A = this chain, B = another copy of it.
Amino acid sequence: MQFEVTEEYLEKISSAIKLNDIKSLEKQLKKLHPADIAGILNELDLVNGKKLFNFLEDKIAADSLIEMEEEKREHFLASLTSEQIADQIDHLPSDEAADVIGELPDHVQDEVLRHIEKDDAEQASDIVDLLKYEEGTAGALMEKELVRVNVNHTVWECVREMRRQAEKVENIYAIYVVDDNDKLVGHLSLKKLLTTSLRTKILEVLNPNIISVKTDTLSEEVANIIKKYDFVVLPVIDNLGRLVGRITVDDVVDVMSEEATEDAQKMGGMEALEESYMSTSYFQMIKKRSGWLVILFIGESFTATAMSFFENSISKAVVLALFVPLIISSGGNTGSQASSLVIRALALGEVSIKEWWRIASREIWVGLSLGIILGCIGFLRVAVWSAFVDVYGPHWVSVGITVGITLVSVVLWGNLMGSLFPLILKRMGWDPAVASAPFVATMVDVTGLIIYFSVAAIMLRGILL
């Protein structure tokens, strides 16, 4: 029932295109969803892609276009005239039309819009309107197509109006009720509409409890609202409360998935990719990854500086150097756990930065407990090894205690840094996901070393140092 673009299938299609075998193409494509046709278009070269595209019905061609990978689509659109692009966009809902136009170079945008205006002035004005909203806000996500009825009308007028508007609206989902100033005052379910006498006033049957967002609400919050209330559609209002658009759940599903991917990549210690993993070019990949790697490298190179201050201690007690990786990584690992927890809780709206003290006081205890667990294991590691091999010398107890105490402190410290960094970043208006595992680890490594050698200086004074 599902479909995957296999190589055989691609060959079949390619040869049908080359042979101009319309019958075979028709048979192959008839059963496919535009998203699948887009998958084929992504794989074909430009010449064959264009042939296939011209063969498709207008509506299906437009829907396939919007489902293509961004880079391929840009490439594809660049080979069409402004008029051809306008013809395609005419078949798309306003939000998707605005997305496609937004990707075009400025002068092409104007030409395409002029072509659309000739054919459908309302669509052109809707698109221009949508283009002005900032990316990442409800305004940029919404579509203008929706069914709106006036609160003072009767059900009969409403049904007539609905039939008229329904032509432009692919899926109705909900009927929005506005007053004479176009302010959103409620909604009406299709079920209700169909079971009410035609003479009833809308005012008497509308549901005034309606949740909406403003055009400048952030997409992340839009996603959280749709998720919380299990909505399929959400109305968008302007600052005066006037109904300006609606956001459907499919757009939000895409936002959620993109945001989870971006967060995962940032949390892995790199810039988020703009394309999918496989379609990101080699140079793009190096660019997105090397920036953070170099920053982390420079940050981490302070460990060399920090350690050089303790070079004397190390030369006296080489045994201290052996535990450096173990100690700093324990702090980093704990910090990585804490930052992942807090970043995700912030993204879901489970915690807010105002609660920083609640988070910190909780994480102090958690960090202390985890530190004690690792500290004990660390001491045991030294003790057990010393029982068999003379690797830590006669003062293994002091070495073990030094390692144990350091682990407790470093883990506690790493945990606190990991949980508070995302909050600090958010407070500064940054993306908390930047507090990646490598980022937190780097911060903890330098301080961890200072803690380690300071504990050692106290514990091993007169013994090894």
Let me know if A286 and B366 touch, CB within 8 A. yes
Q: Is A78 an interface residue (CB 8 A)?
A: no
Q: A231-B250, A285-B366, A300-B325 are in contact. List 18 more A-B contacts (CB 8 A).
A: A35-B230, A256-B256, A257-B348, A260-B344, A263-B264, A268-B339, A269-B337, A276-B348, A289-B334, A293-B337, A296-B330, A297-B326, A303-B325, A304-B323, A314-B318, A315-B318, A318-B321, A436-B437
Return the 4 tightest CB-CB contacts between A and B, nearest first. A268-B340, A437-B437, A260-B260, A230-B250
CB-CB under 8 A from A118, the residues of chain B are: none
Q: Which of A11-19, A45-53, A122-130, A205-213 contacts B (4 or more CB under 8 A)?
A: A205-213
Q: Is the CB of A268 within 8 A of B301?
A: no
Binding site for B on A (CB under 8 A): 1-3, 30-33, 35, 166, 171, 191, 209-213, 225-232, 237, 249-250, 252-254, 256-257, 260-261, 263-265, 267-270, 273, 276-278, 282, 285-286, 289-290, 292-294, 296-298, 300-301, 303-304, 307-308, 311, 314-315, 318-319, 321-326, 328-330, 332-334, 336-337, 339-345, 348, 350-351, 362, 365-366, 369-370, 373-374, 377-378, 381, 391, 436-438, 441-442, 445, 449
Q: Which of A31, A308, A318 has the most CB of B within 10 A?
A: A318
Question: In whole angstroms, what is the CA distance A127 to B336 when docked?
Answer: 41
Residue contact A227 to B253, C-beta cutoff 8 Å: yes
25 A–B contact pairs at CB < 8 A? A226-B253, A232-B232, A256-B256, A260-B344, A261-B344, A263-B264, A264-B264, A265-B344, A267-B268, A267-B340, A268-B437, A269-B337, A270-B337, A277-B342, A278-B350, A289-B334, A292-B333, A294-B377, A296-B330, A303-B329, A311-B322, A325-B325, A325-B449, A329-B438, A329-B442
* Nearest CB of chain B from residue A11's CB, rounded to whole Å: 19
Please report the C-alpha to C-alpha distance between residue A355 and residue B407 in the assembled complex, in whole angstroms: 41
Are B268 and A337 in contact, CB atoms less than 8 angstroms apart?
yes
Chain B residue numbers with a CB within 8 Å of A31 are: 209
Which of B254, B276, B351, B445 contacts A278 (CB under 8 A)?
B351
One of B211, B282, B322, B437 near A366 (C-beta < 8 A): B282
- A73 to chain B minimum Cβ distance, whole angstroms, is 16
Closest to A260 in B: B260
A417 to B366, CA, bound (A): 31
Residues of chain B within 8 A of A209, CB atoms compared? 30-33
The interface residues of chain B lying within 8 Å CB-to-CB of A264 are: 260, 263-264, 267, 340, 343-344
Contact: A304 with B278, CB < 8 Å?
no
Name, among A254, A332, A369, A449, the residue most crowded by chain B CB atoms within 10 Å (CB to CB): A332
Q: Which residue of B lies closest to A345 (CB)?
A: B277
Residues of B within 8 A of A324 (CB): 321, 324-325
**A373 contacts across to B, CB distance below 8 A:** 286, 290, 293-294
Of the candidates B237, B311, B332, which one forms a contact with A318 in the assembled complex, judged by CB atoms under 8 Å apart? Answer: B311
Chain B contacts for A211, CB-based, 8 A? 1-3, 33
Chain B neighbourhood of A33, CB < 8 A: 209, 211, 229
Chain B residues with Cβ below 8 Å from A261 are 344, 348
- Residues of B contacting A304 in the complex (Cβ-Cβ under 8 angstroms): 322-323, 325-326, 381
B227 touches A257 (CB 8 A): yes
Establish whether residues A297 and B374, one from each chain, have CB atoms under 8 Å apart when the complex forms: yes
Contact among B232, B296, B325 for A445, CB-based, below 8 A: B325
Q: What is the chain B residue whose CB lies nearest that of A280?
A: B341
Residue among A31, A210, A314 with the highest chain B CB neighbour number at 10 A = A314
Nearest B-chain residue to A382, judged by Cβ: B304
Q: B270 to A340, Cβ gap below 8 A?
A: yes
Q: Provide the bound-state CA to CA distance between A287 and B301, in Å.
A: 34
Partner of A336, one of B227, B334, B438: B438
* A241 to chain B: closest residue by CB: B1
In the complex with contacts A282-B362, A332-B438, A350-B277, A308-B322 CB distance below 8 A: yes
* A277: B residues at CB distance < 8 A: 341-342, 344-345, 350-351
Collect the chain B residues with CB atoms within 8 Å of residue A2's CB.
Answer: 211, 213, 225
